[in-house]
Amino acid sequence: MEVECSFSNLKLKYDRLQKGGFFIANIQSIMYYNEDTIVYYKGQFIKAVEARGNVYDQSLHYGYAVFEGIRSYHTEKGVQIFKAKEHFDRLRFSAEAVSIPYHWSTEELTAISYEVLQRNNLKDGYLRPLVSCAPNMSLTKPKQSELLIAAWAWPALLGEKLLKLKTSSYRRISPASFKVEAKVSGHYVNSILASQEARDLGYDEALLLDINGYAAEGPGSNLFIEKDRVLYTPQLGSILPGITRATIIELAHELGIEIIEKQLTLQEVYNANSAFYCGTAAEVVGIGSLDDKAFPKPWKESLGATLQKVYKNLVLQKEYRTIEKIA
């Protein structure tokens, strides 16, 4: 059996695989790249399988890196990256928040991203920019950083069916201990633990509470609930201020939907008429139940379903429709 590993790709080869035997492989990396995939790494466009990183990188050992998740869409006007400026501005913010050197402009990164998409013949694609740190085993800020931009075809992260959620036993990371508004790689260990716990228990995804017991967010998505034709979403402070979340708020205002940002108790979520998650990877996806308590309003009649359709129109650069026509 041959195993080859590098920082920017994971490639497994094996010459023996026996069902029910001692070695069982689940190679999820196959969906992300193949031998022809091109990434931008360390200032050049290279094949993903040829990308190499240092095993002493601070990011590899301590999760000290920042990243973004960005989608491109095949529109009538061609391939368009949705809210590239907002994403790359946040990437800069995240790096500066945790003292990682950052020397790229938003315009430069946008141009590189379009070229990565073009070189991989991707139209509806998912882009992953990552700023990683140079070799450093000490617990000090880095003097150098490297940029990776990869892209692949990725359907909506959580699928399209209504989700069964489980309140996680893990709490959302504390703003007293972390820069929670920054998209830091190491923060997502918290997300992995919560998500995997829910799936091991037979659910689709988790809901994390904050350190004070209020509803915070999903492992990779922001939460909205509907009650009496009003939308509510957890206020800033313990959550990641999602770009999709901000877009949904903008669309709600445009459509005349009342929206309130506040601390939400778990009971308030249980008592909601409907609920949904949103995020770049997940887009907009309805929630059917939380802790086996079903939300009573049919999804097709919910404000979330309306916003799901309007959001899809927006990213595809189609004409907006009024809430009355869509609902």
Classify 83 in phi/psi space as left (phi over 0), alpha (psi -120 to 50) or beta: left
Question: DSSP 3-state assignment of 325?
Answer: helix
One-letter amino acid of 57: D
Instruction: Please list the active-site residues.
Output: 183
Q: Which two tokens stand for residue 39?
A: 């990434």
Q: Is the pLDDT of residue 247 over 80?
A: yes
Answer for the pair 230, 260: CB distance below 8 angstroms, yes or no. Answer: yes
One-letter amino acid identity for 246?
Answer: A
Residue 276: phi and psi, rounded to 5, are -155, 160
322 confidence band (pLDDT: 50, 70, 90): low
Q: What is the pLDDT of residues 124-148, one digit of tens each?
A: 999 999 999 999 999 999 999 999 9
Q: How many helices (H) and strands (E) does the chain have?
A: 8, 18
- pLDDT at residue number 321: 60
Backbone angles phi, psi at 119, to 5 degrees: -65, -25
- Rounded Cα distance between 42 and 151, Å, is 16
Please give the Cα distance from 242 to 253 (Å, whole number): 17
CA angle 244, 129, 200 (to 5 degrees): 65
Residues written for the chain: 327
> How do residues 24-46 score in pLDDT, each as one tens digit?
233 344 479 999 999 999 999 99
pLDDT above 90 for 327: no
Given a contact cutoff of 8 angstroms between Cβ atoms, the answer to whether 272 and 295 are in contact is yes
Residue type at position 210: D
Task: Check if the beta carbon of residue 125 is closer than 8 Å to that of residue 96.
Answer: no
Task: Please give the C-alpha separations between residue 98 and each of 59, 67, 171, 186, 190, in angstroms, as whole numbers.
Answer: 12, 12, 22, 11, 18
Closest CA to 30 of 54, 14, 43, 46: 14
Under 8 Å between Cβ of 309 and 242:
no
> For 61-98, what is each residue's pLDDT tens digit?
999 999 999 999 999 999 999 999 999 999 999 999 99
What the chain holds in terms of domains, given with CATH numbers, is 2-152 (3.30.470.10), 163-326 (3.20.10.10)
Asked if residues 162 and 189 have their Cβ atoms less than 8 Å apart, the reply is: no
What's the whole-number mean pLDDT along residues 177-199? 98
Question: Using the 8-state DSSP alphabet, how is residue 25 labeled?
Answer: -
Q: What is the chain's mean pLDDT, rounded?
A: 90
Q: What is the DSSP string of 200-217?
A: HTT-SEEEEE-TTS-EEE
Report the run of H or E that residue 41 belongs to, with start and end: strand 38-41
**CA-CA distance, 183 to 65, in Å (whole number)?**
9
pLDDT band at 23 (very low <50, low <70, confident <90, very high): very low
What angle separates helix 84-97 from helix 106-119, to the nearest 10 degrees? 120
- Answer yes or no: pTM beyond 0.85: yes
289: left (phi over 0), alpha (psi -120 to 50) or beta: beta
Q: Give pLDDT, residue 25.
A: 33
**SS3 (DSSP) at 92:** helix
Kindly state the average pLDDT of the residues 188-192: 98
